[in-house]
Amino acid sequence: MEHSVYEFLFRAFAFVLGAAVGSFLNVCIYRWPADLSINKPRRSFCPACKQPIPWHQNLPLISWILLGGRCANCGAKIAFRYFAVELITGLLFLAIWQRFPWQLAIVYWIFVSLLMVGTFIDLEHFIIPDRITIGGIVAGVVCSVAVPALMQADSRAAACVRSLLAAALGYVILLIVLEAGKIAFGRKRIEFDAPTPFTWTKRDDDADLVVGTEESLWSEYFAREKDRLLLECDEARIDNHTYGSVTLEFRYDRVMAQGHVTMLDDVTQISGVARELVIPREAMGRGDLKFLAAIGAFLGWRAVLFSLFSGSLLGSIVGLITLVVGRRVWSAKLPFGPYLAFGALSWMFFGDTFLRWYAGLLNP
C-alpha cells in the first residue's frame, strides 16, 4: 500500500513538473524567434496587450482552462498551443518516468524539452534555432558522458565518442540528402494559366514578393549565394524604368534585365505581369541537419537512421494527404523538424520493440 502511494506521488510529480516545464517552453517558443530574451521580462506577458500575467493566472493547464483561453486583462484569445505544449510535455514526462530508470529519465526530460521547442518553432516559423540544434548537440554529448548508459556504453569516454559519431552521422547523412536534392530538384518552374501581376516591394533588410494571390518573403528563396529566381514577363517596371517582354533574373541582392544590373538596395519596388516563374528551392533547411545531429547525440546512430526513415515516411503521408484534401499552393512549405522529432520519440519508446520485430523478419 505504501509503495503504491509513493508510486502515485512520483508519477503526479513527473506530470506536474512536465506541465510546469511546458509553461517555460512556451516562453522559449514565443520569444526566441522574435529575438527576445527569456529572462527580461521575467514574468510572462500577454502577446496582445503586453500586460504582465500574475502568477495565479499563469498556472500550467489550469489557468488556460479557467480563463477560457483568453487574457484576463484585455480578453484577447490565447492560442491553444500554450495549453497543448503544457499538456504534451506533462504526459511525456510522465511516460518517461514510468518507462525508464531515473538517471535516463532525467536525461530524456531534457531531450524531449528540446524536441518540443524545436517542433513548435518549426511548425510556426519554419526554422529551428541554433540554441536548440547546436545546444542540443552539446547537451547530448554532455549527458552521454554523465550517463554512459544513454549510449549503451560502459565508460564515459566510449559514450562520448559514440555520441559525437552519431551526431556527425546525423549531420552528414542529411547533408548528402540536401545536396542530392538540390542537384535533382533545385529549381521549380511555374507556368501561369494567364498573365499574372507581381510586385516586389522592399521592406527593411528583406522584401515582399507577391505573385497573383501568393505572398512570400524574398529571403525564403535564397538559401545559397548562387541561387537565381527568374520571372518571364510580358512587361516589367523597376522603379522608373519600364521594359516590354523581358526575363528578370534575380539574385538575392540584384536583378538583371536586358543585360542591365540593378542592385536591389537601390530599388523601392518592382512590378509587372509575369507568364512564368522559376524559383530556387532546397530539399530542407540546414536547421534540420543540426536537429538530426542533436537527436544522434542523445540517442545514438540507430536512432538517426530510424528517425530519418520514419520522419520521411510520415512527412510523405502528410504531404499526400494535403494534396488529396486540397491543392497545395506553389509557395507552401512543410517543416521537416516535427517529423524527425516524431521519429526520435518513437525510437526512444519503441526502438527495442522495432529491433526485435525487424530481427524476426530477417530470421523467422
- DSSP 8-state symbol, 45: B
Average pLDDT of span 18-47: 90
Average pLDDT of span 284-303: 94
Q: Quick one: cell of 221? A: 528563396
Are the CB atoms for 255 and 236 separated by under 8 Å? no
- Residue corresponding to grid cell 509575369: 274
CA geometry: angle 137, 140, 143, nearest 5 deg: 150
pLDDT at 329: 60
Backbone angles phi, psi at 228, to 5 degrees: -130, 145
Q: Per-residue DSSP letters for 95-117?
A: HHHHHS-HHHHHHHHHHHHHHHH
> What's the CA gap between 253 and 240, in Å, rounded?
19
Percent of the chain with pLDDT over 90: 67
**Inter-axis angle of helices 102-125 and 130-146, nearest 10:** 170
How many Cα atoms within 13 Å fall on the side-chain side of residue 99? 17
Q: How many helices (H) and strands (E) does the chain have?
A: 9, 9
How many Cα atoms within 13 Å fall on the side-chain side of residue 61? 14
Instruction: Give bridge partners of residue 231 from the DSSP assignment.
Output: 248, 277
- Summarised one tens digit per residue, pLDDT across range 200-250 is 999 888 999 999 988 988 988 898 889 999 999 999 999 989 999 999 999
Instruction: Note the residue count of the chain.
Output: 364
Are the CB atoms for 6 and 41 separated by under 8 Å? no
Q: Could you tell me the pTM of the whole model?
A: 0.88
Torsion of CA 64, 69, 70, 71, to 10 degrees: 30
Q: Per-residue DSSP letters for 305-320?
A: HHHHHHHHHHHHHHHH
Q: Quick one: cell of 319? A: 504531404
Instruction: Give bridge partners of residue 26 from the DSSP assignment.
Output: none
pLDDT at 225: 87
- Summarised one tens digit per residue, pLDDT across range 169-184 is 999 999 999 899 888 8
Q: Quick one: cell of 202? A: 522592399
Q: Where are the beta strands (DSSP E) in 251-350?
A: 254-257, 260-263, 269-280
- Summarised one tens digit per residue, pLDDT across range 308-342 is 999 999 988 887 887 777 655 655 667 899 999 99
Which residue, among 41, 107, 47, has the nearest Cα to 74 in the 3D structure? Answer: 47
Q: Quick one: cell of 124? A: 510556426
pLDDT at 75: 84
